[in-house]
Every structure is written in C-alpha cells, then in structure tokens.
Amino acid sequence: MDVLLLGLDPNVEGLLRKHTESSSTQKVHFHSSPAENGADFTTRQWDMIVLDRSIRSNVHLADAVKTNSLGGLKIVLTEKENLDSAIEFWGPAIYSYIFKPVNWMLFQVIWQQALERIRLNSKLFRLEKQHEKKHEMQQKKRRAHAPQQEEILKDLFVTHLKMQELDQEKTDFLARTSHELRTPLTALQGYLELLAHSKAGAVNELQAHLLGRSLDTCRRLQGLSNSLMDLSTLNSNRTHLQLGKENIQECLAQVVAELSQAIEEKNLELRFDNAAEIPKFRFDADQMHQVFINLLDNAIKFTPAGGGIQIRSLPYFWERRTVRELVFAQQDRRIAVSPADFNSVRISVEDTGRGIPPECLQDIFQEYSRVVNGNGSPKGFGLGLAVARKIVMAHEGKVWAENRQGQGSAFTVLIPISL
C-alpha cells in the first residue's frame, strides 16, 4: 500500500510511521514531501494521503488533492480552532480530520478504519472489472450470434406470413365449400321431403324408413354446411353483429322448442330454470340462437337415453378487472351481489352424460376438435363449439366447459348487457 505524506512535521511523520507500521497487517510504503514541494507526486495514484493543513499554500498540490486527481483516502491534520476553515477549503474530498497535537490512539482507530475502507474499495474495483469483463464477453457472444438470431427471426416472420396465408386459404376454401354445398343440399332435402310425404306417390314402410334416414343424413350435411359458412365468416373478421334489444330467455325457449323432437326421441328430461326475470338488453338474437343451438345439441348428443339436461339463466355480476386490479385487490372485495347490481347474463347448459376428459376441456373449443364418445368414436364435425366461442367473443363475453361433480358436464356462457 502506497501512502503519501504531505507537509508533515518530521517528528509527527516519524511517530506516524512508527504507529502505523506496528498496527498494519500489510506492507506500507511511505513517500513524503514538504509543503513547498511535491510536484513529482501528482503524476501517480495513491492509496492514502496524510497531509497537514499547511499544504494549502502549495496551490498545485492543494488543487490536486481537492480535485481527487491523486486518488486515495485523505486525512488532514489541523488545529481544532481551524477545523471550520479547513472543511470549507478542502470540501468533501477529505476522509477524516485529526486535531493537532495528534492523539495517537485515536489516529490508530482512524487508520484501521481507513485500511478497511481501502480494502473494500479495492475489492469493489476488482468486482467491477470482473463485471465489465463478463459484460464485454457477453456482448461479444451477442455480436457473434446476432446474424444467427436475425436469420431465425426472419425465418419465424416468413413462417408466420405463410401460416396467415394458409389460414386465409382455409377460410376461403370453407366459404366456397359451404356455398357450393348449400344449394344442392337444399334441393336434395326438398326432393326427399316430397317423397317422404308421399307427394310424388305412395311409398311403402321400407321406403319411408330409407327416406327418413336419407333426410337425417341430408340435414346433418346441411348443418355441416351452415357451420362451415359460419366459421369462415367468423374467421375472416367480417362478423357484423345485428344488435337489438332482445329477450335472452325467449331466445332460449325458441331453441328448446326447435330441438324438442330430438329431446323426446332420446326420452331426456329437460329442466328450464328461469328463476329470475332478465330484462331485455342488446345482443344479436340470431347469432346467440346459434350458440344455444350448438350447446343444447351437444348436450343432447352426449347424454344417454333417459338422462337429463338443465338450462339455467340468471342475472350475474361479472367482475371484469385488469391485472393490476387483481394484484392489488382488497381482501374484502365483494363476491355476491344482488340482482339489481348485475352487469351480465349467465347461461349454463348442464347434462348427465359421460363428462369431458380433463385434458380436453381447453381443446374442445378449437376448430375440428372432437371428444370420443362411449363407443370409442368421435361424434360431430368439431365445429359447433368453435363457432359458439367465436360468437360469444364477438359479444365480448366468454364461454367455458367444466365437469360437474358426480357426472356430466356443464357449458357456461357469460354475456355483458352493455354492448
């Protein structure tokens, strides 16, 4: 460790060397200069500088100390009565002041503290150098890998564009297919109905049975065509909601009436729970009709004969909060509210079927996703729930599925009333 002594009295300098050499654990190299000299010492850095206040008469050295160009911790020896003027002259560059005559016990305490400070500064300096070196190496690695990363990003971007093109091609294909299917299917269904109702001549029992099965198949194909058309429209972002003030419970009642024959054929018990009357609000009645058709048809399809289906509709308070509100929400935030405070409508369709495999609960709303039935074969085309989800999202709502405790599944729709 290099220590510079500036302007010290020779006796004080001798005592200082004696006391510091006996208490220091590391080798100390002292360099001294009188107050009127010292120009040669301004060209290097020091670990510590001990100086007398008289050194202020050497303007060159004093400026070097005040501007910290010599480095190191600085200890000034001064008379007690001159302390204020010394502090005013030297400013914040000084580590400590010691009164003359020197109390050597106090000096040793300050000396040891200064040594510890120097040791910590040295350690901090080494850590900063290591950090700078590590940062420089990381920068070199980044620069080395930058071309590869740029190439990967370019490939990802090109892949994304290609996927968008493929998705658009798929949407266009669905639209063309559904359009091409709709006209011949309508004509075919009309001819089959004429034959089934004996409008073109009498039919025997076997013929009536075959015509009935043909009509069922034709209706399924027409349902597929309609689903394809709905999906292509929703995927092309051309969805325009025809909003009007409608009664959601009347919409549900129409859906139940429309599918009543399918419910009776499977001898299903249907419970329609409209415990609370829901006022009219703005929504697209035709689109939501399609949502409820898809959900109820799905429940009928997966509920065994003799089972049950329950439809519930009720006013609901939907706590739609931002992430910040969720994080900083108060513990006593209300959960249950009175019907007068509702801001949305909650409709659920519950069945007593086999339920949904847990791994499929999130995927069933994806296009072409189908759940295997009890016979090990999937039912449907995998479009109904995807269409329902897109329509509900267009209404700024949400739809989800869950397994009910015991048996069966439940599909729930939330629709805000303030569109």
How far, rounded to the nearest angstrom, does the alpha carbon of residue 28 sit from its chain's CA centroid?
58
pLDDT at 111 over 70: yes
Same domain for 321 and 344?
yes
How would residue 414 be classed by pLDDT, with cut points 50, 70 and 90?
A: very high
What is the reported pLDDT for 349? 92
Peptide bond into 378 cis (omega under 30): no
In a domain, 32, yes or no: yes
pLDDT value at residue 178? 67
Please name the residues in contact with 87: beta carbons below 8 A apart, sequence gap of 6 or more. Answer: 94, 97
291 and 223 in a single domain? The answer is no
Question: What's the pLDDT at 333?
Answer: 45
Same domain for 49 and 23: yes
Q: What is the pLDDT of residue 371?
A: 67
Q: Which domain holds residue 174?
A: 165-234
Q: Is residue 119 part of a domain?
A: no
Say whether pLDDT at 328 is over 60.
no
pLDDT digits (tens, 9 = 90+) for 211-238: 888 877 877 777 767 666 666 666 655 5
Residue 256 clears pLDDT 80, i.e. is over it: yes
Q: What is the Cα–Cα distance from 344 to 397, expressed in whole angstroms? A: 9
Mean pLDDT of the residues in the chain: 79
Q: How confident is the model at residue 412 (pLDDT cuts 50, 70, 90)?
A: very high
Contact 394, 239 (CB under 8 A): yes
Residues 221 and 282 both lie in one domain: no
Higher pLDDT, 20 or 98: 98
Query: What are 344's strand-pairing partners?
Result: 316, 416
Q: pLDDT, tens digit, for every residue of 296-319? A: 988 888 888 888 999 998 888 887
133, pLDDT greater than 80: yes
Q: What mean pLDDT comes out for the span 277-286?
A: 88
Exposure class string for 152-187: b at 16+ Cβ within 10 A, else e: eeeeeeeeeeeeeeeeeeebeebbeebeebbeebee
**Counted domains in the chain:** 3
Q: Is the pLDDT assigned to residue 377 strictly greater than 70?
A: no
Whole-structure pTM value: 0.51
pLDDT, average across residues 190-216: 80
One domain for residues 169 and 44: no
Q: Where is pLDDT greater, at 220 or 40?
A: 220
Q: How far apart are CA 381 and CA 368, in angstroms?
A: 6
Which CATH number covers residue 96?
A: 3.40.50.2300
